[in-house]
Amino acid sequence: MHNNRKKTVKVFQYRMLGLAVLGSQFFHAQITHLDSINISSVEKNIRLNDPYISFFQPLDFSQTTFQYSVTKQNFKRVQTAEKIGSFTFQSEGVYKLNDKIALSGKLQADKTTEENVPFILSDERTTHSSFMYNPSYYWVPRSARWQKQSYFINGQFAYNPVKPIILQVGGEGRYAKSYRQNADPRPKIDDYTYRAFAKLGLKWHQHSVFGKLSYINHYKNNDIIFVNQGGNIPANDSIYIRYNEGYGNQYIGNTQYKTSEYKMEGYIWGGEYAFNNGNTHFSAGYDYTHVIERFYKIYEYQDASYVYHKDYTKYSGLKTDLHSFYINFLGNYNGKRWASAITYKDQLDTNYNYPLEYRTYRLEQQNLLWKNSLVWFNHRNEAFKVLFDAGYGKNHVKDVSVVMDRKLSFFQYQLGLEREFVLIPSHKLAVGITQNLYLPLEKEFNYAPYQSSKDNIFVTKIAKPDFAYDATPKVGLNLKASYLLDSGKIRYELFGNFTQIWMMNSNYKNAADYNGKANQIASVGLNVYY
């Protein structure tokens, strides 16, 4: 298995190199061609995912972003940071090379510092999710600072060799590294993910039918570094390692395992119908995702000849079956650009313990998301943007090992307005305001200790406060201001964002240590459109 891991890392490196070559050619071409520098994020994401749309509605664009952001969370899910500082570089775009070839791609690098992250020794976070998708990991109670780095590259190639055929192929890779800095034990996590995908379509007049196939591979190594192995005993609770299995069941001991590995592999297949003309793109499709993530404990030892060995034990697995349905729409009518994307996902996760041969954890989840944007210009070439997102979610987590049953459904929306003002020719000021609301609907949390009169510490310290957070309505307000400078076919945008989020009742305060203050997010940066 160790040799297989080396092969996986080597394949990942070669794929990243190939994508980097493709990305470099794509972005070089983007420097010399430009059709549009004003596009909504909804339309941008649709075109990045499907560069073949440029065969019907040519619209080349590129955007490079440098951004620094700071997040202060006075209320949060437990296994997330109190304060986050991050720097991001990102470059993305779409380019039509000729009538037969279109390209899209994305490069991104992030460096993040997280302060006071408790109860977790992996790089997973529940900042934007109400639970851990893989419930098998080590943890300790002590809070710590984390340093995280992430590098991502995506490239796609759309080809129309003859009129009735459209071929789209691509790949993406991500490498992430995380360190827990100022508490014992300190894990070092290496995370490799890559995906290859292809899409083949038959076109008849304005109608197209596609078949799709993707392959996913994910490898993660968690190296737990013992600073003082002799102090790693239950009496020293702040550094004593626990292994968590299932949503609410935790097991102590097994600290002879210095490293662990996660290996995920799976596929996605699906189909799509699309309608395209000079003003309209409409597509509707279905994807089925099947992946299995396995968790391995690794025991390292030295034999009588002072040779180091590693024994791999396949301990648990997490199987995910995900059905996705989506509709995308792009329209350009009377000078108004409308973009809309609807996605529905139905997911089922179950775990399996290989040594004991049983299942305990089950997650059922449904999510519906609708994203919209409308952009138009007045006679002074000042842009107006209306943004509206709405979503509904429902999840049910059940763990029979501790008799825990958690149900939650919610509705949320985001409404935003943006307006440009011409100061002098080639100089503009843009301002925007966005309001969002999260409203829980069904709320149920049932828990009973299994064969014990003592509550499970994972449930009392993590699961219950997290549920109180998810069961509390929240409202937020975002203010944005930008200075825009157009120079030839290049636009420079200096921007700043400030967001505050408030709790709307005292449910969370009654379940967690909360000072009553709002959460705050601030960011500044530079966008370059070319």
Tens digit of each residue's pLDDT (9 = 90 or more) over 280-318: 999 999 999 999 999 998 887 777 888 888 888 898 999
Q: Does residue 26 belong to any structural domain of this protein?
A: no
Q: What is the signed CA dihedral for 16, 18, 19, 21, rounded to 10 degrees?
A: 120
Q: Does residue 381 belong to any structural domain of this protein?
A: yes
Residue 265 has pLDDT above 60, yes or no: yes
Q: Are 293 and 317 in contact (CB under 8 A)?
A: yes
Core vs surface per residue 43-58: b (16+ CB within 10 A) or e: bbebbbbbbbbbbbbe
Domains held by the chain: number: 1
Q: Does residue 1 belong to any structural domain of this protein?
A: no
pLDDT at 35: 44
Least confident segment among 107-121, 349-363, 380-394? 349-363
Which tops the pLDDT comparison, 142 or 232? 142
Q: Are 251 and 295 in contact (CB under 8 A)?
A: no
pLDDT at 360: 84
Q: Does residue 25 belong to any structural domain of this protein?
A: no
Residue 22 has pLDDT above 50, yes or no: no
pLDDT at 301: 77
Q: Does residue 40 belong to any structural domain of this protein?
A: no
Q: Which domain holds residue 254?
A: 58-529
Q: Are 160 and 52 in contact (CB under 8 A)?
A: yes
Q: Does residue 39 belong to any structural domain of this protein?
A: no
Q: What is the pTM of this model?
A: 0.89
Percent above pLDDT 70 for the chain: 90
- Tokens representing 10? 């080597």
Average pLDDT of the segment spanning 212-230: 85
Q: Does residue 27 belong to any structural domain of this protein?
A: no
Q: Does residue 8 belong to any structural domain of this protein?
A: no
The owner of tokens 């549920």 is 467
pLDDT band at 254; cut points 50, 70, 90: low
Residue 34 has pLDDT above 70, yes or no: no
Question: CA 295 to CA 312: how far, in whole Å?
Answer: 10
Question: CA 244 to CA 388: how far, in whole Å?
Answer: 39
Q: Rounded to 5 degrees, what are φ and ψ at 169?
A: -130, 155
Core vs surface per residue 269-297: b (16+ CB within 10 A) or e: ebebebebeeebbbbebebebebebbbbb
- What CATH number is given to the structural domain containing 121? 2.40.170
pLDDT at 451: 64
